[in-house]
A and B are shown apart, each in its own frame.
Chain A
Amino acid sequence: MRSEDRGHVRALLGAYAVEALDPDERATVEKHLAICDSCRAALGDYQVVAQALLAAPAPVLPSPRARARLIAGLGPVRRPGRSRARPSLLPRLGLAAGMAALLVVNLALVWEVRSLRSDQARILQDLQVDQTAISLASYPTAEVILLDGESVGGTFLYDPERRFAVVHMWGLDPLGSDQEYQAWLVRADGSRVSAGLFRADPDSWFTSAVLTSPVPVGEFAGVGVTIEPSGGSPQPTGPRVLNAEL
């Protein structure tokens, strides 16, 4: 190798390590590196620097959401050998079976996504209820009362000054699609105002709901829950499952 080549290549090694060379010069350098030990050694020093440059930016954490999303996205690990060995053993048949299996998997995934979406909607709703409950509980003037019912129980969390409240219940029966639970706020004169509709959570012992009121909750004398036709009623018509005095 001529020495002027070596000098030329030496001057390009730093650029080579950070991949800055244009194609023709890169080809020249690579050709020379293949036959020159001392240039390869010199390149080594630059490559160490290049690797360190990858780690050089000051560490920054991504959002915790990114971690949660990553965990949620972890599929099963590809096991060694299995997927690679099969096609070569049973070429055509294996492929056809594989395609059929993929189709099934795809269909299953569609269902999965659909059910995940509805799960997500439910979880968001639950989250909203929980956040409301937490913020209510943090008011110094918040109060909790126990709701009574037959084989059903609950608590009612409210602040007399606020126009919303959270009700937690346990033991509620899941209802058919034609019925819903309806919450009522009861005035001192016995008249009732609807405070919201909800369904029992089929997957949990507990059901929670945010109730809303046209006036501060403290103006009412009681609270109750009845079973009503789907969509709710202007006044209670169905059986009472829970009630309490405020």
Chain B
Amino acid sequence: MRSNEYFSDLPDPALVERVAQGDRSAFLELYDRHVSRVFALATRMLGDRASAEEVTQDAFLKLWTRARAFSPTRGALLTWLLTIARNNALDRIRLEARRPALAEASLSDLEDGRPDLQAPGSGSEEARWRSLRFALAELPDGQRQVIELAYYQGLTHSQMAEMLGLPLGTVKTRLRLGMERLRDGWIEEGMAGKRSERPGSDVKKRKRSRTGEA
């Protein structure tokens, strides 16, 4: 059951309004539009598909029951869903004291599910996310590791220092440098995107070939 053709043209906020009225088709359209990103994040954080599916389900159930709580003026629906999924996944990680077994796992190790080839998002948005993924992968391992441990595993500076057996100052420096680099890359990418809306600007091509993922 693929959702309605008509709905596929409607933007997220219009569909959310319908969901708030109990419209299942609108809900399914939103599910199909965003589920692969929510599931990707949950899988990235939790490492196992079963828990990731549960977290994904919970996020969408929240959309179903609490669609009215979503306000388009405060940000994109996808961000809302991803934030719910992240909080939910962090709760699980803390509850199960499932401390990062996947700290060493590389991005590609975790991307072994069925890729969603029709991933949503406008072309330029999608291209920016992808380039951020590459930018993250290109950071020195130590910097990437602390960003991921913090954001995807919910660890603080001191928890990471303890876990990694590193001086606190080292952890702080790595995180700061890594975040600065991602921020600079993001801003640069945004300006490149404005200069040319083509989905393969020079910046991206360079990054793609460097990570061998073209």
Contacts and interface: CB of A to CB of B under 8 A. Distances in A.
A91 interface: no
Interface stretch (A11-19, A169-177, A188-196, A204-212): A11-19
Contacts of B21: 77
Interface in A49-69: 49-63, 66-67, 69
Contact of B27 (A21, A48, A49, A74): A74
B133 A57 contact: yes
Contacts of B107: 57-58
Interface stretch (B5-13, B76-84, B92-100, B194-202): B76-84
B28 A77 contact: no
Contact of A57 (B110, B154, B156): B110
A46 B119 CA distance: 25
Given A20-B146, A62-B53, A67 B156 contact: no
Of B27, B79, B129, B187, the most chain A CB neighbours within 10 A belong to: B129
Q: Interface residues of A toward B: which range?
A: 35 or more
B133 to A, nearest CB: 4
A170 to B, nearest CB: 27
A60 to B, nearest CB: 4
A62 B39 contact: yes
A45 B183 contact: yes
A21 to B, nearest CB: 6
Given A61-B116, A70-B57, A52 B128 contact: yes
A63 B151 CA distance: 26
Contact of A14 (B37, B53, B111, B179): B179
Interface residues of B, number: 71
B160 interface: yes
Contact of B132 (A18, A21, A56): A56
A20 B156 contact: yes
Contacts of B178: 14
A234 interface: no
Interface string A5-47: 0000001101101111110010000000000000000000110
Given A56-B136, A59-B119, A46 B64 contact: no
A75 to B, nearest CB: 7
Contacts of B36: 59-61
Nearest to B147: A18
Contact of B86 (A22, A52, A54, A60): A54
A20 B65 contact: no
A78 interface: yes
Interface string B109-125: 01101111001110000
Contacts of B43: 57, 60
Contact of B61 (A12, A62, A73): A73
A239 interface: no
Contact of B37 (A12, A59, A67, A74): A59
B204 interface: no
Nearest to B85: A54
B15 interface: no
Contacts of A21: 156-157
B192 interface: no
A71 interface: yes
A76 interface: yes
Contact of A60 (B68, B115, B129): B115
- 6 smallest CB-CB distances across A and B, nearest first, come from A14-B179, A20-B150, A59-B36, A60-B113, A54-B82, A59-B119
14 contacts: A14-B176, A14-B179, A15-B172, A18-B179, A25-B157, A50-B151, A55-B41, A58-B133, A61-B113, A61-B115, A70-B31, A74-B61, A77-B21, A78-B65
Interface of B: 1, 19-22, 24, 27-28, 31, 35-37, 39-41, 43-44, 49, 52-53, 56-57, 60-61, 64-68, 75, 78-79, 82-83, 86, 107, 110-111, 113-116, 119-121, 128-130, 132-133, 136, 146-147, 150-151, 154-158, 160, 172, 175-176, 178-180, 182-183, 186-187
